[in-house]
C-alpha cells in the first residue's frame, strides 16, 4: 500500500474513533453528529472491502448504546427504535447492502476522483497525446481518435498489471469501463484515471503507481506513433 493510501486509511479511522468516543461520552450529541458519523463510515466502507467489518462493529456498538440509553430513559424516554444510536445503526445496515462504487452506470453522469486525499499523483493522458503529436514529423497523418484509443489501451495495460497483482475484485471489468468512457460524447482523458478511484484503496494504489510512469507511457505512445500505428483519415 502506498504511503498516501495508508495515511488516508489511518487518519480516517482515527477521526471516526474520536468522533464515536465523543458522542458516547456525551461531549457531542449522536443525534446531531449522525450525518457526520454516517458520512465517515460510508467513505471508509467504499474505500476498502475489509472496512465492512468496521461498519458491522459500529452497528453492534449502536445496538448496545441504544439499549443502554433506552434503559436509562435517555433522550426524553424515546422508544428503543427511535433512539439516536438505533437510527444510526439502521442507516448502517442499509449501507452494507449498497453496491461497490465501480458498479455504476458509466455511460452517464460525472466521473470524478474519489478519496482525493489518498491521491499522490495524476497521469495526464492528454499531455501524453499532445507531446506525441507535437513531436511527430507527420502530424497530418495522425488520426486523433486512434491516438486516443492508443493512449487508453496503453494506460489500461499498465493498470491491469497492477490490478492483477493485487487480485482486486471487479477489476476484470476495467476494460469495459474504459471502452464505455471512450464512447461518451462528453468523454475526457481525466475520466480514465478518475475511474480507478472508484475501486477504492486498490484502485488508488494503482493510480499512484502508474502516475510515476507517465514518461514511459508517453514514450511507448511515441514509439507506436513513429511506426504509423495511429495514421488514418482525420
pLDDT tens digits, residue range 123-164?
Answer: 999 999 999 999 988 888 999 999 999 999 999 999 999 999
CA distances from 93 to 5, 47, 96 (A): 26, 17, 6
Pair 122, 83 in one domain: no
Pair 23, 76 in one domain: yes
Pair 87, 120 in one domain: no
pLDDT value at 34 more than 70: yes
pLDDT at 234: 45
Q: What is the mean pLDDT of the chain?
A: 94
pLDDT at 233: 60
Number of domain units in the chain: 2
Pair 86, 151 in one domain: no
Pair 91, 120 in one domain: no
pLDDT at 82: 93
Instruction: Examine residue 183 and state whether it is found in any structural domain, yes or no.
Output: yes
CB atoms within 10 A of CB 184: 13
| pLDDT tens, residue by residue, 107-125 | 999 999 999 999 999 999 9
232 vs 39, residue with greater confidence: 39
Instruction: Examine residue 192 and state whether it is found in any structural domain, yes or no.
Output: yes
Confidence band, pLDDT 50/70/90 cuts, at residue 97: very high
pLDDT value at 229 more than 50: yes
Pair 47, 77 in one domain: yes
pLDDT value at 2 more than 70: no
Give dist(CA 127, CA 125) in Å, integer: 5
Instruction: Examine residue 106 and state whether it is found in any structural domain, yes or no.
Output: no
Range of the domain at 46: 3-95
pLDDT at 1: 45
**Contact between 46 and 200 (Cβ < 8 Å):** yes
Q: Select from 15, 3, 104 the least CA-distant residue to 54.
A: 15
Joined grid coordinates for residue 47: 474505500
Pair 159, 85 in one domain: no
Pair 54, 129 in one domain: no
* % the chain with pLDDT above 70: 98
Q: Select from 115, 128, 136 the least CA-distant residue to 210.
A: 128
**Contact between 210 and 174 (Cβ < 8 Å):** no
| 97 φ/ψ angles, rounded to the nearest 5 degrees | -95, -5
Confidence band, pLDDT 50/70/90 cuts, at residue 75: confident
pLDDT value at 215 more than 70: yes
* % the chain with pLDDT above 90: 88
CA distances from 89 to 53, 78, 94, 122, 180 (A): 14, 16, 9, 37, 37
Pair 219, 147 in one domain: yes
Instruction: Examine residue 234 and state whether it is found in any structural domain, yes or no.
Output: no
Burial class (CB in 10 A: 0-12, 13-18, 19+), 46: buried
Instruction: Examine residue 101 and state whether it is found in any structural domain, yes or no.
Output: no
Q: What is the pTM of this model?
A: 0.92
Pair 129, 220 in one domain: yes
Instruction: Examine residue 190 and state whether it is found in any structural domain, yes or no.
Output: yes
Joined grid coordinates for residue 111: 466521473
pLDDT at 168: 86
Instruction: Examine residue 178 and state whether it is found in any structural domain, yes or no.
Output: yes
Instruction: Examine residue 26 and state whether it is found in any structural domain, yes or no.
Output: yes
Pair 206, 132 in one domain: yes
pLDDT value at 226 more than 80: yes
Pair 135, 188 in one domain: yes
Confidence band, pLDDT 50/70/90 cuts, at residue 28: very high
Amino acid at each position: 500500500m502506498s504511503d498516501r493510501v495508508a495515511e488516508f486509511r489511518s487518519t480516517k479511522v482515527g477521526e471516526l474513533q474520536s468522533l464515536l468516543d465523543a458522542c458516547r461520552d456525551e461531549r457531542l450529541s449522536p443525534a446531531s453528529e449522525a450525518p457526520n458519523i454516517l458520512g465517515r463510515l460510508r467513505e471508509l466502507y467504499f474505500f476498502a472491502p475489509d472496512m465492512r467489518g468496521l461498519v458491522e462493529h459500529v452497528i453492534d456498538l449502536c445496538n448496545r448504546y441504544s439499549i443502554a440509553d433506552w434503559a436509562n430513559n435517555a433522550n426524553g424516554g424515546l422508544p428503543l427504535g427511535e433512539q439516536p444510536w438505533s437510527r444510526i445503526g439502521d442507516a448502517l445496515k442499509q449501507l452494507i447492502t449498497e453496491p461497490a462504487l465501480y458498479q455504476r452506470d458509466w455511460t452517464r453522469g460525472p466521473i470524478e476522483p474519489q478519496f482525493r486525499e489518498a491521491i499522490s499523483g495524476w497521469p495526464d493522458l492528454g499531455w501524453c497525446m499532445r507531446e506525441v503529436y507535437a513531436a511527430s514529423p507527420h502530424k497530418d497523418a495522425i488520426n486523433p481518435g486512434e491516438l486516443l484509443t492508443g493512449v487508453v489501451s496503453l494506460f489500461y495495460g499498465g493498470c491491469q498489471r497492477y490490478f492483477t497483482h493485487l487480485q482486486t475484485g471487479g477489476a476484470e471489468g476495467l476494460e469495459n469501463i474504459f471502452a464505455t468512457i471512450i464512447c461518451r460524447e462528453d468523454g475526457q482523458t481525466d475520466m480514465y484515471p478518475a475511474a480507478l478511484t472508484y475501486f477504492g484503496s486498490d484502485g488508488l494504489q494503482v493510480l499512484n503507481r502508474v502516475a510515476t510512469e507517465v514518461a514511459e507511457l508517453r514514450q511507448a505512445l511515441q514509439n507506436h506513433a513513429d511506426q504509423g500505428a495511429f495514421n488514418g483519415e482525420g
